[in-house]
Amino acid sequence: MPIDNNWVENQIRPWALGRSNWLFAGSLRSGQRAAAVMSLIQSAKLNGHDPYAYLKDVLTRLPMQKNNSIAELLPQNWKLAAAKKEL
């Protein structure tokens, strides 16, 4: 067992620092949108994706996506489109 918990502290630091900033999200809906985006970013990181490439690809493909295939865009199912691999 490691004697310190630096790794854990470094992982939760952005959330601890952001707590006071989130008080000023503007409204309840703004806070909910911010939480949804942050959840997508963290899920992308946990699935080994570059968050910027993930969000850029998903936001580009989303308007043309059919309702029944939205699950393909979730971080655990996402694959970069073949035409976009030059990023």
Highest mean pLDDT: which of 3-12, 31-40, 46-55? 46-55
The predicted pLDDT at position 83 comes to: 46
User: Where do the domains of the chain lie?
Assistant: 6-84
The answer on pLDDT for 4 being more than 50 is yes
Measured from the Cβ of residue 82, the count of other Cβ atoms closer than 10 Å reads: 6
The predicted pLDDT at position 82 comes to: 53
**CA atoms of 23 and 48, how far apart (whole Å):** 30
**CA atoms of 79 and 87, how far apart (whole Å):** 13
Q: What mean pLDDT comes out for the span 3-26?
A: 75
Contacts of 69 (CB under 8 A, 6+ apart): none
pLDDT digits (tens, 9 = 90+) for 37-71: 888 888 898 899 999 999 999 989 888 877 777 88
Q: What mean pLDDT comes out for the span 24-33?
A: 80
| pTM to 2 decimal places | 0.65
